[in-house]
Amino acid sequence: MQILDEKFCTGCGACYNTCPMNAITMQSDNYGFYKPIIDTEKCINCELCKRVCPQNNYISANYKEPISFAFQNKNKQQLYKSASGGAFAFFAQEIINNGGIVYGVVWDKNIVACHIRTDNLNDLEKMYSSKYVQSNTKETFKEAKKDLKNGKIVLFSGVPCQIAGLRSYLKDNYTNLITVELICHGVQSPLLLEKYKEEFLKNKPNEKILNINFRSKKIGWFWGNCYTTIETSKKTYNLPDNYYAKLMDLTMNESCFSCKFTGFPRVADITIGDFWGVNEYDSSLYDKKGLSIIFINNKKGKEFFLKSNNNCNITKIPLDAAIKRNPNIKNVTIKHKLRDSFLNDLCMENKPLVKCVKKYLNKTLGRCIYEKLPKFIQNFIKYNVLKKEKC
C-alpha cells in the first residue's frame, strides 16, 4: 500500500504516530529526508495512514486575512538567542509559567534536529533559533495527545506541514492546545547536515560539535545575514557567510516545492517569522537585535495573545507590509533546476561536499549575479560569452 506519491510526502510523521499495528517506521530516503516505510508483514490495510495524511485531507478554517503585528520580545537574553524577535520564546515561556507543556525542535546529542516535549525553561532555551534542516517529529504527536487528554495546556511548534500533520492526527480541536508555526522557505536534507558536520570536523581531532546556531546575532539581525556559530568541545567557531545557508535551495525536500500549507488561511493558531522589509514600511521599527512578524490566525490565537504577559513591543501592521519582502508567506519556493543533480552527486554518488559546493555554488552564485545585470548585458553574455543562439 502507498500512503501517497512520495514526492508529496513532507515526512510530518502523522501516519507513523497513527498506525495501530506499529507497521510504519520513519526512515531516510535516498536524499536523507524522513519518509514513512510500511512493513507489509505487519500492515492490515486499515488505511488509517492514508486518511490521516494532511496532504490528503487538509482544510483550514482560520481567518483568510490574519491580524499581523511587528513583534519584539523585551527579554534581552531570549531576544539575542532567538532567530528573529523572540516570539517563540515569549509564547512558550507563557505556557511553561502556567504549568503547561511545550513541543519544539532541539539538537539532540548527535546534533540531529528533532522535536521534544518539555515542561521546563532549560529545555526551552535549546528550542530557540532555526535549525535549517528537516526535524524528526518522532512520537511527539502521541505524547501531545496524551498531555491534552490529561488536561495540560500544550503549545506545539514546528513548520506548517508538521502542524497540519498534528492537527490531522488529533482530529479534535482541543481547547487546551495552541499551535505555533514558522513561516517556512522549505526544509533541508538531514543527510546534508551530516555531511556538513563531517566536513567541519575534518582536521579537528577529538572535537565534538555541541551546538550550531545558524542565525547568530553576533553582527546583528538583517536580511541575508547567515552568521553561523559552531560550539565544539574545544572552542566556538564564528563563521560569517556560512556556505551551508547558501545551499538551501539546492537541498530542499521535494514536497516543499508543492507545499499546500503556505499562504492563507494559515494552518496554526499563530504564525511567526522574520519581519523582512521592515525598513521599507517604517524604519523606526527596525532594530538590529531582531524583529518578528506574527499572524494571529483565529479566535483562539487572539485570546491567547491578549492573555499573554506584556513583556514585548508590538505594533499592528497591514498584511501587505508583512508579505512584501517575505515571499514564502504566500508562495512556495520554486524548485532550483540544479537541485536534483546536486543531491544525486552528494547523496547517491557520495561525492565530497566540498566538491559539490565548488561545482554547484559557483554556478548558482554566477547565476545570481547574472540575474541582477541589466537585460542588455545579460543578452551580451548569453550570445557572445555563452554562445547561445537567438531563436
Ligand X SMILES: Cc1cc2nc3c(=O)[nH]c(=O)nc-3n(C[C@H](O)[C@H](O)[C@H](O)COP(=O)(O)OP(=O)(O)OC[C@H]3O[C@@H](n4cnc5c(N)ncnc54)[C@H](O)[C@@H]3O)c2cc1C
DSSP three-state, residue 314: strand
Q: Does 158 bind ligand X (CB under 6 A)?
A: yes
Cβ count near 163 (within 10 Å) = 25
Nearest CB to ligand X, comparing residues 60 and 135: 135
Q: Does 267 bind ligand X (CB under 6 A)?
A: no
Question: Under rule CB under 6 A, which residues in 96-115 are in contact with ligand X?
Answer: 104-105, 113
Q: Does 155 bind ligand X (CB under 6 A)?
A: no
Nearest CB to ligand X, comparing residues 273 and 301: 273
Nearest approach in angstroms of CB 350 to ligand X is 24
Out of 187, 239, 317, 356, which residue is the one contacting ligand X (CB under 6 A)? 187
Output the nine-digit C-alpha cell for 242: 556560512
Residue among 13, 271, 301, 272 at smallest CA distance from 134: 13
| Torsion sign across C-alpha atoms 82, 88, 91, 94 | negative
Nearest CB to ligand X, comparing residues 66 and 104: 104
Which region among 177-185, 198-206, 238-246, 279-287 touches ligand X (by CB under 6 A)? Answer: 177-185
Nearest approach in angstroms of CB 374 to ligand X is 28
Which region among 20-28, 43-51, 124-132, 192-200 touches ligand X (by CB under 6 A)? Answer: 124-132
Nearest approach in angstroms of CB 380 to ligand X is 34
Which residues have CB under 8 Å from 15's CB, separation 6+? Answer: 3, 24, 36, 48, 49, 50, 52, 53
Q: Does 82 bind ligand X (CB under 6 A)?
A: yes
Which region among 152-160, 198-206, 231-239, 258-266 touches ligand X (by CB under 6 A)? Answer: 152-160
Nearest approach in angstroms of CB 165 to ligand X is 12
Give the β-pairing of 292-296 and 67-73.
Answer: antiparallel
Backbone angles phi, psi at 334, to 5 degrees: -80, 135
- 341, 288 Cβ separation under 8 angstroms: no
Nearest CB to ligand X, comparing residues 13 and 158: 158
Q: Does 144 bind ligand X (CB under 6 A)?
A: no
Nearest CB to ligand X, comparing residues 88 and 200: 88
Distance between CA atoms of 287 and 268, rounded to whole angstroms?
27
Residues facing 114 on adjacent strands: 106, 136
Output the nine-digit C-alpha cell for 163: 502542524
At which residue does the C-alpha cell 566538491 appear? Answer: 355
Q: Does 256 bind ligand X (CB under 6 A)?
A: no
Which region among 77-85, 219-227, 334-342, 344-352 touches ligand X (by CB under 6 A)? Answer: 77-85
Nearest CB to ligand X, comparing residues 60 and 188: 188
Distance between CA atoms of 17 and 49, rounded to whole angstroms?
9
Distance between CA atoms of 225 and 240, rounded to whole angstroms?
8
Q: Does 274 bind ligand X (CB under 6 A)?
A: yes
Output the nine-digit C-alpha cell for 319: 498584511
State which amino acid sits at residue 30. Answer: N
Which region among 157-165, 225-233, 309-317, 346-354 touches ligand X (by CB under 6 A)? Answer: 157-165
Cβ count near 179 (within 10 Å) = 28
Which region among 48-56, 121-129, 280-288, 305-313 touches ligand X (by CB under 6 A)? Answer: 121-129
Q: Does 83 bind ligand X (CB under 6 A)?
A: yes
Question: Under rule CB under 6 A, which residues in 16-45 are in contact with ligand X?
Answer: none
Distance between CA atoms of 370 and 363, rounded to whole angstroms?
10
What phi-psi label fits residue 224: left (phi over 0), alpha (psi between -120 and 50 degrees) or beta? Answer: left
The packing angle between helices 160-170 and 140-149, to 10°, is 50
Out of 11, 13, 86, 190, which residue is the one contacting ligand X (CB under 6 A)? 86
Nearest approach in angstroms of CB 46 to ligand X is 29
Q: Does 190 bind ligand X (CB under 6 A)?
A: no
Which region among 8-16, 127-135, 192-200, 222-230 touches ligand X (by CB under 6 A)? Answer: 127-135
Instruction: Tell me how many residues contact ligand X (CB under 6 A).
Output: 33
Burial state string for 14-50 with b = 16 or more CB within 10 A and e = fewer than 16: bbbbbbeeebbebebbebbbbbbebeeeeeeeeebbb
- Interacting residues toward ligand X by CB under 6 A: 82-89, 104-105, 113, 127-133, 135, 157-159, 182-185, 187, 272-274, 292, 326, 328
